[in-house]
Homo-oligomer: A and B are copies of this chain.
Amino acid sequence: MRNINVGIIGYGTVGCGVARALKEKRAYLSRRLGASINLVKVCDKDLKSRRPFRIDRRLLTKRPAEVINNPEIDIVVELIGGISPAREFILQAIKNKKHVITANKALLSEEKRRLFKAAQANGVELRFEASVGGGIPIIKALREGLVANRIMSIYAIINGTCNYILSEMTQKRIGFNAALEQAKKKGYAERNPALDIEGHDSAHKLAIMASMAYGIDVRPKDIYVEGISNISDDDIRYARGFGYVVKLLAIAKRIGRVLELRVHPTLVNRNHPLASVGSNFNAVFLDSDMLGEALFYGQGSGSAPSASAVVSDIVDVARNIINNAETKMPSIVYDKQADRIKRQKDFYTSYYIRFSAIDKPGVLSKISKILAQHKISIASVSQKVRRRERIVPIIMMTHDAKESALSNALKKIDGLDIIRRKSVVIRSEKDLE
């Protein structure tokens, strides 16, 4: 039976999961593949920490070159994350004609064009199923299952930390900070959670999916990003009153040749399938010309789910190795006509707004006058009960409006002496009604 040799760089949570799966499922995988997958080298700079899964010590090394330059190795699995030195490791492995599997969304989102070009030039594959949605086979779906489809829109919950925090705030009626602390305790948030809660991790993943869906090289800088740290439990409660839940969504839409790319807290109708995606789960909801609306839901992170994705890439690549396959399915096919990316000021959605006003007659009339001057029409409004400091929250849902109009109006409103805090805005998506 043919042998396929795998080396791993980065023996952390996901690396352990991959090593465990390759060992425990050895016989099972070789029955499916008709070849034997061997883990021959595992590199990490820290070989002392205890791991949940132990491997033969002789496989371990601190030197990346023992994986990247190892003539025995067919497939290099990069799991260290971050831009550098992951980029250099991957490029060197590709140069050495090794196939590469990575979960590195930060690197891919920035440099995928260069990396895929290098892989193609060297006749090897670069796979990344685990980079988006953990174990959910969404990358394979975009590349192969939906190959015949033009994707119109993607609405994705792809950051487990944010979804856990928002779900806890919703269910337990606790504030953002309390929910974040819980997430940390449960291992759903990192010690420094900025990349997650500020929306950048979601943007990295959206850049990858949107590039595949639309055939252009979407980079994080192309995406408007807003995190969840401004959302209060009050907002979640008020939004529920209008029939919505609040989710951090990564959104990509194409209308004509204009592409819209955003990550921000979003109101989702409570009956929409995305609304029931709770805890740290991920879900990708997409609309395409042939399949129509579809949802892919599952664990977006964690050792075993991510390892499931990595191993599926290993098996795919192994099959191509056995077949000497020359035609691989390209993950991203860049179209010649690049799409234009919509600017933030041209976004056009409806809005939930929470104004913090002093409790005085005439406040609502002042606010609505400014909104009217900016051609923003109000769908509904409710003034909540008084609270400390005589500040009352005024909650408003608008009809669709242009973002430039809204931000100009808010600048004026927030400058009024009756307004005591910056107004909070959450966008609402018509498609998710």
Contact = CB atoms under 8 A, between A and B. Distances in A.
A38 interface: no
Interface stretch (A142-150, A343-351, A374-382): A142-150
B140 A145 contact: yes
Nearest to A137: B145
A34 to B, nearest CB: 5
B305 A299 contact: no
Nearest to A315: B147
A296 interface: yes
Interface string A125-164: 0000100000111001100111111100000000000000
State the oligomeric state as a number of copies.
2
A101 to B, nearest CB: 13
A144 B312 contact: yes
A194 interface: no
Contacts of A178: none
A140 B141 CA distance: 8
A144 B148 contact: no
A291 B298 CA distance: 7
A416 interface: no
Contacts of A290: 17, 21, 135, 304-305, 307-308, 311
A299 B293 contact: yes
Interface stretch (A91-99, A202-210, A251-259, A327-335): A327-335
A121 interface: no
Contacts of A307: 148, 290
A373 interface: no
Secondary structure of the A side of the interface? mixed
Interface residues of A, number: 65
Interface string A267-278: 000011101110
Interface in A288-311: 288-299, 302, 304-305, 307-309, 311
Interface string A309-338: 101100110011011111111100101000
A367 B242 CA distance: 46
A333 B32 contact: yes
A146 B32 CA distance: 12
A387 interface: no
A29 interface: yes
Contacts of A276: 271-273, 275-276
A290 to B, nearest CB: 4
A297 B299 contact: no
A360 interface: no
A335 B31 CA distance: 9
A62 interface: no
29 contacts: A17-B290, A25-B148, A28-B150, A29-B148, A31-B335, A32-B147, A32-B330, A32-B333, A129-B145, A135-B294, A141-B145, A144-B312, A144-B315, A146-B308, A147-B315, A148-B307, A148-B308, A271-B276, A273-B276, A290-B304, A291-B299, A292-B305, A294-B296, A295-B295, A296-B296, A296-B297, A315-B329, A319-B325, A320-B323
Given A137-B144, A145-B312, 11 more contacts: A21-B290, A33-B329, A136-B294, A144-B312, A147-B311, A275-B276, A291-B298, A291-B304, A293-B299, A295-B297, A323-B326
